[in-house]
């Protein structure tokens, strides 16, 4: 199974930039890297997805090196409301296309302090 | 716009009782549908997914089953609940395997 490794927890302060790095050594060549955010007692919410290099949207940036064995989610100027669990996900290499399945780890619990 | 509904929001059931959780999606056609379970402090565990009516893939052998009687309806069932079935059950949909998944509000199940 595809597997991702990311820090269990991180601490930050309001206004800082937060970078969460994830390793995914056996990502399939045609697969994407996807990040989700989850608040307590809610379903996860999609943040960003990328295949290579850099992707940016209104809430985050995703940096992916050429070997694609890791990726970094960058959250600019975090606020208290960014306190959540962040999941880095890749697909199970044995299932591609429309049958793609995401493999969920424990995620990174980010605490933003005032 | 698309919306996803799950009910009930919370459920307390005795061991050995049956279970039926329902999920419906509005505003889209032929979605991929997923059932996940999340234990306290854990990541999501994929239980079932479906790419079409009557097409169910089971990920974890257990006492749960899923059905998709209509295009936008996904049902999770059990004939006899176990204590280990307690958890937060989430339904999700996506337009394809590579597109983002949209999650419902979840059902908190406690088996006593």
Residue-wise pLDDT tens digits, B33-90: 999 999 888 889 999 999 999 899 888 767 899 999 999 999 999 999 999 999 999 9
Sequence-distant (≥ 6) Cβ neighbours of residue A66 within 8 angstroms: A52
Mean pLDDT for each 10-residue chunk of chain A (114 residues)? 86 97 88 93 94 94 95 97 95 74 87 97
List B residues 40-99 in contact with A (Cβ-Cβ < 8 A). Answer: 42-46, 49, 51, 57, 59, 88, 90, 92, 96-98
Q: What is the pLDDT of residue A90?
A: 87
Whole-angstrom CA distances from A111 to A9, A16, A89 are: 8, 12, 20
Least Cα distance to B90 among A55, A60, A53, A43 occurs for A43
Distance from CA of B100 to the nearest CA of A (A): 6
Residue-wise pLDDT tens digits, A17-49: 999 999 998 888 888 999 999 999 999 999 999
Mean pLDDT score across all residues of chain A? 91
A3 and chain B in contact, CB less than 8 A: no
Chain B residues in contact with A41 (beta carbon < 8 A):
88, 106, 108
Whose structure tokens read 């609940």? B81
């Amino acid at each position: 199974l595809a597997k991702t490794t990311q820090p269990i927890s991180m601490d930050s302060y309001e206004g800082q930039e937060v970078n969460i790095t994830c390793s995914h050594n056996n990502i399939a060549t045609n697969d994407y890297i996807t990040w989700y955010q989850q608040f307590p007692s809610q379903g996860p919410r999609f943040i960003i997805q990328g295949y290579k290099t850099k992707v940016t949207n209104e809430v985050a940036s995703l940096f992916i090196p050429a070997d694609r064995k890791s990726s970094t989610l960058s959250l600019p100027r975090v606020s208290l409301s960014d306190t959540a669990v962040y999941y880095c996900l890749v697909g199970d290499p044995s299932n591609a296309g429309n049958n793609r399945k995401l493999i969920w780890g424990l995620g990174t619990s980010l605490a933003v302090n005032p | 716009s698309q919306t996803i509904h799950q009910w009930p929001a919370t459920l307390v059931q005795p061991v050995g009782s049956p279970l039926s959780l329902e999920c419906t999606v509005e505003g889209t056609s032929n979605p991929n549908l997923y059932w996940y379970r999340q234990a306290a402090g854990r990541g999501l565990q994929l239980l079932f997914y479906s790419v079409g009516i009557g097409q169910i893939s089971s990920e974890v052998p257990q006492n749960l089953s899923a059905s998709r009687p209509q295009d936008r309806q996904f049902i999770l069932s059990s004939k006899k609940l176990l204590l280990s079935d307690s958890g937060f059950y989430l339904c999700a949909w996506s337009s394809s395997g590579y597109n983002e998944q949209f999650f419902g509000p979840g059902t908190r199940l406690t088996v006593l």
